[in-house]
A and B are shown apart, each in its own frame.
Chain A
Amino acid sequence: SAVISQKPSRDICQRGTSLTIQCQVDSQVTMMFWYRQQPGQSLTLIATANQGSEATYESGFVIDKFPISRPNLTFSTLTVSNMSPEDSSIYLCSVGTPRDRVPYEQYFGPGTRLTVT
């Protein structure tokens, strides 16, 4: 499977500020996704990062709060904007394997642990 890295691995931020999280893959992948995992909870899909077009957001998540970039097939960023303590979570990117079959198997990055004070 692809090697996926995320930066930063963790951060402590003040409310009202923004943080951009990077996700890098060592090979080209068709699909990249961003998830949120609140403490002790399951994984919730924020959006699908589409290369060459705008991200597709899930219900409850909006572009103004979580802008996403996908400039190429190996890299994506997620920004958490105007943060509040409720945004404290682990943010994970995942990638879909480059196969013809749908749906894709997804593999996760190591995550970014965000604490908002």
Chain B
Amino acid sequence: GENVEQHPSTLSVQEGDSAVIKCTYSDSASNYFPWYKQELGKRPQLIIDIRSNVGEKKDQRIAVTLNKTAKHFSLHITETQPEDSAVYFCAASPPNDYKLSFGAGTTVTVRA
């Protein structure tokens, strides 16, 4: 099955700086890559996703890039704010399937 690795496990950034989280996946056929944000005690929230027919997608301060050849994808958060502090999970899903395989998560702390 699909195996997703996520790095780093923790990330501390100064408010206003950028944060980057990277994930690699094992199944070259995977074609859907969502990112979830989970604040303490709350449910995971889908914040952005990308499908394999595009290389980059942006939504305000967050963007995701995908490199199919290298089998990795990244989440970029620019101009970080304290409310960006949370655990972020990447996931991958192969074609003709609906299962999500999640990375281990990255705890992001934005220092004021």
A residues in contact (CB < 8 Å) with B? 1, 31, 41-45, 48, 58, 92, 96, 102-111
For window 83-112 of B, CB contacts with A under 8 Å fall at 89, 93-100, 102-105
Q: Is B61 an interface residue (CB 8 A)?
A: no
Residues of A within 8 A of B98 (CB): 31, 48, 96, 102-104, 106
Sample of 7 further A-B pairs with CB below 8 A, known A103-B100, A110-B42: A43-B102, A48-B98, A58-B99, A92-B43, A102-B98, A106-B98, A110-B43
Question: B112 → chain A, closest Cβ, in Å?
Answer: 24
Contact (Cβ within 8 A) B89 A42:
yes
B residues in contact (CB < 8 Å) with A? 31-32, 34, 36, 42-46, 49, 89, 93-100, 102-105
Residues of A within 8 A of B96 (CB): 102
Question: B73 → chain A, closest Cβ, in Å?
Answer: 15
User: Which secondary structure dominates where chain B touches chain A?
Assistant: loop
User: Contacts A42-B105, A43-B102, A45-B100 hold; do A105 and B44 have CB atoms under 8 A apart?
Assistant: no
Contact (Cβ within 8 A) A42 B102:
yes
Q: Which of B34, B45, B99 has the most CB of A within 10 A?
A: B99
Contact (Cβ within 8 A) A103 B97:
yes
Contact (Cβ within 8 A) B102 A111:
no
A-B contact pairs, 12 of them (CB 8 A): A1-B46, A42-B105, A43-B44, A96-B98, A102-B96, A103-B31, A103-B32, A103-B97, A106-B98, A107-B46, A108-B36, A109-B43
Q: How far is the CA of A31 from the CA of B105 in the complex (A)?
A: 24
Residues of A within 8 A of B34 (CB): 105-106
Residues of A within 8 A of B42 (CB): 110
Contact (Cβ within 8 A) B89 A43:
yes
Contact (Cβ within 8 A) A105 B43:
no
User: Which residue of chain B lies nearest to A44 when distances are taken between CB atoms in the complex?
Assistant: B102
Contact (Cβ within 8 A) B99 A42:
no
- Which of A42, A92, A103 contacts B103 (CB under 8 A)? A42
